[in-house]
A and B are shown apart, each in its own frame.
Chain A
Amino acid sequence: MALRKIRIMGDEILTKTCRPVTDMTPRTRTLVQDMLDTMYDANGVGLAAPQVGILKRIVVIDIGEGPLVMINPEILEKEGEQRGQEGCLSLPGQAGMVTRPNYVKAKALDLDLKPFEIEGEGLLARAICHELDHLDGIMYVRFVEGELFDVTDEEAQEEPEDEWEETEEQEESAEGKDA
């Protein structure tokens, strides 16, 4: 596992348009793995290659349902609306209200450069839109309604929670019967 440095807004590279990936090299594979590691380490739900300083059309997403790697992604359809809070790993400690489509359908290539399609609703739709924008040098702040606001990163402050371990067995025994 290798972590890469996340570029912060103000860095020129976040305003540039990325180039498509034409062939899969060990280097690119390593990049994807590092992007996933970096995203999980920062407690993010999505990360685009330019955020770690690489101008390639690659994004990684995990909204809690497993990793999704999208290479040369494109949105095919958008539908509906959702208004909600959005934040970016390249602008830590801040968030803003952004309206996005509630549903998107996209196509992309996987790690073996095989094409696939994906549909997403709610958070997944939001994450796909947010990350794909990065590939064209667009930050979400462009769409923020009203002011940006400060948010404290609770996840980062949370202690590992193992103080409840002792009484584990009692509930485990119930699990078998009730679940």
Chain B
Amino acid sequence: MTKPVNLREIVLGILLEITEEEAYSHIVIGNTLEKYQYLDKRERAFISRVAEGTLEHMIQLDYIIEQFSNVPVYNMKPFIRNLLRMSVYQLKYMDSVPDSATVNEAVRLAQKKGFYNLKGFVNGVLRNTARRLSQIRYPDPVREPLHYLSVKYSFPIWMLSKWVAQFGYEATERICKDSHMEKGTTVRCNLEKASVEEIILELEKQDIQVRRHPYLEYALVISHYNYMNAVSAFKKGWIQVQDTSSMLVAEAAAPNWGDYCIDVCAAPGGKSLHLSDKLMGSGYVEARDISERKVRLMQENIERSGAINIRAMVRDATVYDPDSYQRADIVLADVPCSGLGVIGRKPDIKYKMSEKRQQDIISLQRRILDTVQSYVRPGGVLIYSTCTIGADENQYNIKWFLENYPFKLENLDPYLCPQLQSRTTKGGYLQLLPGIHESDGFFIARLRRYVDE
């Protein structure tokens, strides 16, 4: 008989790829589950739960490990530190796995991978953790508030200190806490194909839980489904998976009948398709993105939706396209960003982002803005958006932009539900915060090009 697959070894492979090789968590986990699709549902659930949970709580897990190890986590071999992390995660967060199984499996894995001399170390750290888990002292919320948040919610200190300065301590804690919440999937109803009521009925026929989203009447939150590809409303092109925050982009763009729109960083195409839906078959949407692969992906989404007024094409948003000069009624610039608004879904962002990287991203964002602003016709609209929170990539970019280009901010209130209207939306931009708003963290600004320059 051949060796059965070892689920913990698979998880460890995932973690090594993400934490040591810079791969993205959702891609690595997705690929792994696809590769092992023959495993049963319970085994697949174990893999994703342990991998995602370990990433979500990594700073806290490292803190716990260091209570029982004389070697700091960053000095350990990658294999050993990730083995300890995933094992401590199981000890702390998975009551269904007996502690002895977690410890024994970890020791066995260490041995199997040739770390005979570290068997005792792994065994010692994990046994001590299992025994003394409830006695661990965590940082004190009053004396060390940032350290407390960092260990409790596993966020790096640099990020927290920026947020506390901008949003306040209480809001920062809500943002952190929200990232650990289980959420349903938000979908947009394609109103060209079916009414919201029909779609709800279709979903409920498959025993999927459906709830209307408070911000938009065509947004639904669904849960308790297995695979999106098995959802009939999805297969028919009636719904698109898209966060409400990203739906608000097309709302803020508010295209008129026949408008020519360019979405300069369009993949996977949700916002472009939404625009095309809003244009009701009129006008034209160019969904551009940088790589063949991303554009192919968009093409698939476009085909499923059956829209005719939209085309996907490969274009680099930082390379000037003379044919587009002042031709677009609407330009969407949903630029690459640090992604701090979507940490709930991609926990590894917390550890991969740094202030230095953020600076590089800001330069890229400005290069894109500098290039694509010229595609907006006089009197046309530019929508700037990111899925991140904090002023650096949002308000500061807008301020820089207004100082350098002939645009003005425009009131967003006409396009937003009352709950979202505020002083800043009147001023022309919206910062959504997870945990405060019912959506991902997101930023949208609506800018109009002056008619006479």
Contact = CB atoms under 8 A, between A and B. Distances in A.
Contacts of A168: 117
Interface residues of B, number: 30
A89 B1 contact: yes
Contacts of A47: 1
Contacts of B79: 161, 164
B182 to A, nearest CB: 27
B161 interface: no
Contact of B4 (A86, A89, A164, A173): A86
Contacts of A85: 4-5, 38-39
A87 B1 contact: yes
B38 A179 contact: no
Interface residues of A, number: 41
B97 interface: no
B69 A178 contact: yes
B355 interface: no
B152 to A, nearest CB: 25
Interface string B107-126: 01000111001101101110
A166 to B, nearest CB: 9
B68 interface: yes
Contact of A83 (B4, B40, B118): B40
A57 B2 CA distance: 20
Contacts, number: 92
Interface in A156-178: 160-162, 164, 167-168, 170-175, 177-178
Contact of B123 (A46, A171, A174, A179): A179
Interface stretch (B50-58, B70-78, B394-402, B435-443): B70-78
B131 interface: no
A88 B68 CA distance: 42
28 contacts: A44-B1, A44-B2, A45-B2, A45-B4, A64-B108, A84-B4, A85-B4, A85-B38, A88-B2, A89-B2, A97-B40, A123-B4, A130-B1, A140-B1, A151-B5, A153-B2, A162-B114, A164-B78, A164-B79, A171-B71, A171-B77, A171-B80, A172-B117, A173-B71, A175-B120, A175-B121, A178-B70, A178-B128
Interface of B: 1-5, 38-40, 68-71, 75-80, 108, 112-114, 117-118, 120-121, 123-125, 128
